[in-house]
Amino acid sequence: MDGDAARAMLANAEVVHDEASVQAALDRIADAIRARLAEANPLVLCVMSGGVVFCGQLLPKLNFPLDFDYLHATRYGPETQGGKISWRSAPWIPVKDRVVLVVDDILDEGVTLAAVKESLLHQGASEVLVAVFADKLNGKTKPVTAEFTGLTVPDRFVFGYGMDARGAWRNLPAIYALRD
């Protein structure tokens, strides 16, 4: 999408959670993760590309020993609706016998995160916990739940704070939704 189209999309969107709400939620989720994992020496895995903003701002707030790596599994690409899971990169650090914290931008239908969690457990992780910044209230039964959630978002196409709109606007400090 070119810059003019991206700007037009943002102009036709509304704020769902402003920057102050996003930062307050980030602090809350960091507190919860510290309380649960401070003694676990976890492996934190960022789900690329959506989880990069959340994970990048979360890590400095986790003042305990941890290892960091990433994985890349997606169902979206440039589309606004999910399709087949595409595995682009597995973690480099072995997960066997580790407590693993998977960090992602959004829990939408949960298919991708469920597949990631199942794969990590199959590889021998002792425990896999999920942290998502946003949980979409879509009314569907999801195959995975997040132990740590920042905010909920409506069942609309949302973007900002790591979530993209046809490739644009992951860098916004707030969360927006396309108008219906």
pLDDT at 31: 98
pLDDT at 91: 85
E strands present in the chain:
13-17, 43-48, 67-74, 86-89, 99-107, 127-137, 148-154, 158-159, 175-178
Number of neighbouring beta carbons within 10 Å of residue 50: 26
DSSP state, residue 163: B
Number of neighbouring beta carbons within 10 Å of residue 41: 12
CB 74, CB 85: distance < 8 Å? yes
pLDDT at 95: 95
pLDDT at 79: 47
pTM given for the model: 0.91
pLDDT at 130: 98
pLDDT at 73: 83
Cα angle, residue 93 at apex, residues 49 and 43 outer, rounded to 5° = 75
Parts of the chain with a pLDDT under 70: 75-86
75 φ, ψ (degrees, to nearest 5): -120, 0
CATH topology of domain 20-76+86-157: Rossmann fold (3.40.50)
169 φ, ψ (degrees, to nearest 5): 70, 20
**Could you tell me which residues are beta bridge partners of residue 135?**
107, 152
Each domain of the chain, given as residue ranges in start order, spans 20-76+86-157
Which secondary structure element, helix H or strand E, spans residue 77, and what is its range? none
CA 137 to CA 12: how far, in whole Å? 22
pLDDT at 76: 55
Helices (H) and strands (E) in the chain, counts: 4, 9
